[in-house]
Amino acid sequence: MTLLEEIRQLCQSFDGRAGVSILDLRSEQCFDYLGDEIFPTASVIKLPILLTLMQQCQAGTASLDDPLMLRRSDMIGGSGLLRYLTPGLTMPLRDWAFLMMNVSDNLATNVIIDYVGLGNVQAWLRAAGYQTVQLFRKITFSDPPPDKPHLGLASPKELTQMMAAVFRRQLVSAAACDEMMRMMDMVGRDRVGRYLPFAPSGSEVPGKDRLRMAGKTGRQIGTRVQTAVVWHGEGDTARGFAITVMSEGNPEPETYSVDAPGMLLIGRIARVAYGHLLGKPASG
């Protein structure tokens, strides 16, 4: 089967709605299934929040070295580490951003939204040409407003374009993109990376041959999302693909298991993409 046929088959066998967008970074060929349709982003919306921050740093209106203090009033539940730490802790903005992206810390996310301005995130998205990606509000664990049930919405295609642009050092400076890739290094190894042949820790595989990935994940009840880049090599010699898989509406009881249907779907789609675009598929 072709890659698109395999993607379609996997999505149609999923109990819920799923959309995919994959971009071959060498050939520019796209493989989309419901790629232009709109899905909840969950925490993947943190990627454009970070891009807005980096744009403000580039413009000189913000700095990753700015100190921010953890306040008792910022405390919120959900994913992350900061809610377990002592109010009064002060860290540079760079560390808050790292926690937002690498462990999807919700408290850090809300603090950064306040720092950059929620309206400025949406303004940056429109100025950069992203028409489907929307951030509606800060994260809350009370009932969301009826008119804003989702944290964010987006199409798989635009998230894939955004992730590819960061990898290619576009949208903001090369240094800012490199810092973003550091913050997202191996995020989603249990999803996009689930079945891929990464070298074991401590392996002596040369850098040019080592499989790498970076991305951002999201989850909420019945929904699993990831956008990522998977690649070999560096610079002009890099071979790989950008991928976004978005799902919603899975009816299984929510346990947030690593084996939830949406998690398995993301891994299986990434596996067939790797097999068609980068080499032999991994076992498993």
Dihedral sign computed on CA atoms, order 130, 119, 103, 16: negative
* pLDDT tens profile 121-144: 999 999 999 999 999 999 887 666
Six-digit token string for 266: 């993301």
Please tell me the predicted confidence (pLDDT) of residue 281: 47
**Mean of the per-residue pLDDT values of the chain:** 92
Number of neighbours of residue 127 by Cβ within 10 angstroms: 9
Please tell me the predicted confidence (pLDDT) of residue 99: 96
Please tell me the predicted confidence (pLDDT) of residue 144: 66
Dihedral sign computed on CA atoms, order 187, 35, 240, 173: negative
Q: Where are the domains of the chain?
A: 3-277
Rounded Cα distance, 130 and 121, in Å: 11
Rounded Cα distance, 258 and 249, in Å: 17
Residues in Cβ contact with 201 at an 8 Å cutoff, skipping those fewer than 6 apart:
none
DSSP letter string, 86-136: PTT-EEEHHHHHHHHHHS--HHHHHHHHHHH-HHHHHHHHHHTT-SS-EE-
Q: Name residue 241's beta-bridge partners.
A: 24, 230
Please tell me the predicted confidence (pLDDT) of residue 123: 97
Please tell me the predicted confidence (pLDDT) of residue 8: 98
Please tell me the predicted confidence (pLDDT) of residue 177: 97
The parts of the chain modelled with pLDDT lower than 70 are 77-80, 142-145, 147-148, 201-202, 204, 206-207, 280-284
Q: Does this model's pTM top 0.85?
A: yes
- CATH class of the region 3-277: alpha beta
